[in-house]
Amino acid sequence: MTAKRPAFDATSALAGASALATPLPRVLRPQRALPSDAVRPTRAEVNLANLRHNLRVMQRNAGGAEVWAVLKADGYGHGSKAVARTLERAGASGVCVALLEEAVELREAGIRLPILVMGGYYGRAWGELLRHDLTPVVHEASQLESLAEEVRFSGSEAMKVHVKVDTGMARLGIAPKDVRAVGELLRSRPELVLDGLMTHFASADVGDAASIHQQLDLFDSALATLRELGLSPRVRHAANSAAILATPRARLDLVRPGIALFGVEPREGSCPDLRPVMRVRTEVVALRDLEANMPVGYGATFHTERPSRIATIPMGYADGLSRGLSNRGHVLVRGARAPIVGSVSMDMTMIDVTLVPDVRIGDECVVLGSQKGPAGEGVITAEELATSLGTIPWEVLTSVSRRVPRFYREP
C-alpha cells in the first residue's frame, strides 16, 4: 500500500474506475424540478440566511465539538446540494448522509467537506467510497473484510472508517459484546483506519436524559475496550440535535445536528433561537361560489353549510400536502387562515375563503411558513402540521416532493 489516494477529482475518479475491485455500479439519481422549468406557482422557498443562523446556534451549543451537518433525505427536503454549499462556506466541519447515492450526488456537485455515509448499506459498491473519497460507517465485521479487500485491490492508501456501536437503538451497530472481536479484526487489517467511533440515541428527542447517560456508559465501555487493543479513534460522536441541547456529556468530539439546522426544535422549548428555513407557497388558480349543501372534492366528504366561496390551489398530496389534512388543515391567504375543505387531491386542493375578503385568482397561499397580508398575519409551522397529522416535523419537511422546485433566498 505505497500508492497514496489523491484528492477527489470526478473526472480522474471515473477514468480510474477499472483499477478497483468492484465495477462502477449503476446509480440512478432522482431529478428535482428546477426553478427555471417551473410553470405552476407551487414552490418551496429556502431561506439561506436562516440556515446559516441555525448553524451558528448549533456551533455555540456544541461546546467546541466539530459540527457535521446531517443532510440525509435531500437535506431534510430542502435540497442537499444547495444546503451543503451554504453550510460548507459558513463553516460546517463535515456532512453526514444516509445513502451512498446521496454522498455521490454531493461530491459530483463539488462539495469538498468530509462526508460520512451513515446508512450502513453499500450494495457492495465499495469502490464508490474510494472513488469519491467518502468515509463509511460500518456496523458488522463482514463490511470490514470487504472494505479491506477493496483497498488491497485498488492500491489506495488505508481507508478511514467509523464504527457504530449499538448502545440501545437496536437498529444498526456492533453489539457491545462483540466490540472486542471487531477491534481485533480491525487491528489485523492495515488497509483500514479507525477514524471514528459512534452511536445513536434512541430517546433524546423525548427528553429522556437517563437513557442518554445509559447509552453513553455503554459507549464509554466500548471505547475502553478498543483502547485496550491499541485502537484510539480520532473522533467520538453520538449527539443528534436533541442530544446536543440536552447534555454537555453527549457532545464528545463531533456532533451531528439535522432537524435543528432547518429551524425545528427537536423538543419543544429546547432551542427557541432557531429560525425556520423552508416556506411553501402557491397561488389561487380558481374560484367558485357555491350554494349551501353543495359537495366539494372526491367522495363528497365536505358539504357547504352556507353559501360559500371555494378556492382551488395547485398543490396536493403528490407535492407533500398530506391527504391527512383533508377537512382539518389550513392555508394562509391574504394573511388569514382558510380551512382546507374536501379531500386533498393528488395535484389540487380546495380551501374555503368565504370569510377572507377580496380573494382573487393569483393571490398567494402559504401552506408552510408565515404570511402577512391585508387580512392579517399568520404562520403555519412544521410542528403544527405534524400535530394535526399525528406525526413528526421530520416527516412533514421531507414529504415536500421533488416535483416542487426549491427557490433559494438571501433576504
Catalytic residues: 72, 298
CA–CA separation, 115 vs 132, rounded Å? 9
Determine contact, residues 338/356, Cβ cutoff 8 Å.
yes
Q: How far apart are CA 275 and CA 57, in angstroms?
A: 10
CB contact at 8 A, 1 and 157: yes
Q: Give the burial class of 237: count Cβ atoms within 10 A of its Cβ; 0-12 exposed, 13-18 middle, 19 or more buried.
A: buried
The DSSP element (H or E) to which 265 belongs, if any, is: none
Q: Distance of CA 206 to CAs 179, 198, 202, 328, 398, Å?
A: 28, 21, 9, 26, 20
314: which DSSP letter? S
Query: What φ, ψ does residue 99 adopt, rounded to 5°?
Result: -110, 150
C-alpha to C-alpha distance for 51 and 73, rounded to whole angstroms:
17
Instruction: Report which of 294, 343, 303 is spatially closest to residue 322, judged by C-alpha positions.
Output: 343
* 29, amino acid identity: R
* CB distance 116 to 255 below 8 Å: no
What count of other Cβ atoms lies within 10 Å of the Cβ of residue 31? 8
Bridging pattern class, strands 349-352 and 406-409: unpaired
Angle between helices 48-61 and 80-90 (to 10 degrees): 50
C-alpha cell of residue 4: 497514496
Three-class DSSP category at 207: coil
In whole angstroms, give the CA distance from residue 18 to residue 91: 36
